[in-house]
Amino acid sequence: MSKRDFWTTILNHFEVYVNLRHAGHRHSVYVRDNVLPDEVGDELSKIFIRILRGEAFSEIKREITSRCRESRRKSKTSKSR
């Protein structure tokens, strides 16, 4: 899995989780999917631990979005070479 795909997958799962929480689900409905690569599940686990510790959704999303942009930029520069 490319870094670009990795961070895009992380962002998508994070947004689903946040949307479910805002819709009134009190507990994590995220279940580790066997289809996802282990590294994606591991990163999501780290993110959910940060949420449980009280870190703001907006801060976490900003960080993930930044990593998505960075991986896209690196992907574009490597393709242009």
- 10-residue mean pLDDT profile of the chain (81 residues): values are 84 83 63 68 88 90 92 79 59
Return d(Cα 48, Cα 61) in angstroms, integer.
12
Radius of gyration of the chain (CA): 14
pLDDT at 65: 92
pLDDT value of position 60: 92
The tally of domains found in the chain comes to 1
Sign, CA dihedral 21-25-27-28, equals: negative
For the chain, give the longest Cα–Cα distance.
48
Give the domain extent around 36. Answer: 3-80
With b meaning 16 or more CB within 10 Å and e meaning fewer, what string describes 25-61?
eeeeebeeeeebeeebeebbeebbeebeeeeeeeebe
